[in-house]
Amino acid sequence: MARIHWRYGPPLTQPVIDIIKLFHQKSFSHGVIFELGLILSLAGSVVTLLFIPIGTICPLNVAGGLLVVLYLMLLAPIGIALSGGGGSNPNISIGISRKMLLALSYEVPFLLVVLTVMIHYKTISLVSLVELQRASGWGIISLPLTGIAYFLILPAMLGIRPFDMVEAPQEIASGLKVEYSGKFLVVYYIEHALRRFIVIALFVNLLLGGAGEPFTFLVKMLVVFVICVCINAVFPRFRMEQAIRFNWTWPTMLALAGLVIACIWGGYG
């Protein structure tokens, strides 16, 4: 990202250094809900991760994996919102309302995308989804509109620019994380990183065909992530209503069109 800005940037180990420092720092708590909410969100993300196949490794391989993931992904924002409510800072309430509105705006196309994939491959198990795609080619080739729709909402789901209004440091003083310090901030960061990992891993699994071994999978994820970082580096920030309008027009329309096409091809029309 720094190279795009024409500067040197920090060393690659900077996040590790930050986390070591934050563990060492003294941290302030704002009550039980403040702590438990964070733990709930971290737990939600970790459990979601267990349901997602990384290559062929999938610790919790169940028949209805995709639906479980859809439900579990909601735990993390709720936990963060609870925890922020315990912090009782006006900036946090603005951050929470923005996060929830943003989630509302990207969940609609996201659910349509997932529904399309489920209808096209006639399965709700993530593992068999990956196997079907390895047999018949990538999902993004047979469902191009759906793939584009997911790619358009990817920045919003990752919380990067142009959709980083949840954590806008210049407007609302980092929004949600304004009261977190030390160890709480570490938990917040790890949860955030896990969430990014989950979203990109879902993209790779649903539409980029998954992978046979974990290494190929991680390479695919890295490619998607680098593209997202490039988007992050060159775009300014949307306003809230612009973001919702964007998410409810182009990605939703594309996803809906993809759903209709999938239904007709699948013989449900």
Partner 1 sequence: MLTKWLKQPQKMGDKYSLWAIYFCTGCGIIEVPPVITSRWDAERFGVIPVATPRQANLFLITGYVSVKTLKAIIRTYEQMPEPKYTVGFGSCPINGGMYWDSYNTIKHLDKYIPIDGWIAGCMPRPEAIFIAVTHLWTLIDKGMATGYKRYREKYQYYRKNQEKVLGKLTWPPQFHTGNDDV
> Residue 54, SS3?
strand
Contact between 3 and partner 1 per CB under 8 A: no
Q: How far is the CB of 111 from partner 1 (least distance, A)?
A: 33
x/- string (CB under 8 A) for partner 1, residues 183-222?
A: --x-------------------------------------
Q: Give me the residues paired with residue 57 across strands.
A: 54
Pick 24 or 267: Cβ nearer partner 1: 24
Touching partner 1, residues 17-56 (CB under 8 A): 17-18, 20-28
Task: Give yes or no for a contact between 63 and 125, defined as CB atoms under 8 angstroms apart.
Answer: yes
What CA–CA distance (Å, rounded) separates 187 from 19? 10
DSSP state of 239: P
Task: Give yes or no for a contact between 200 and 224, defined as CB atoms under 8 angstroms apart.
Answer: yes
Residue type, 7: R
Pick 110 or 180: Cβ nearer partner 1: 180
Q: Which residue has the tokens 């737990």?
A: 43
The CB-side HSE value for 238 (13 A sphere, CA atoms) comes to 20
Query: Candidates 48-56, 105-113, 167-175, 244-252 — which segment interacts with partner 1 by CB under 8 A?
Result: 167-175
What CA–CA distance (Å, rounded) separates 103 from 200? 16
Contact between 90 and partner 1 per CB under 8 A: no
Contact between 233 and partner 1 per CB under 8 A: no
Contact between 178 and partner 1 per CB under 8 A: yes
Residue of the chain from 29, 97, 174, 216 that contacts partner 1 (CB under 8 A):
174
Residue type, 76: A
Residues that bind partner 1 (CB under 8 A): 2, 5-10, 14, 17-18, 20-28, 169-170, 173-174, 177-182, 185
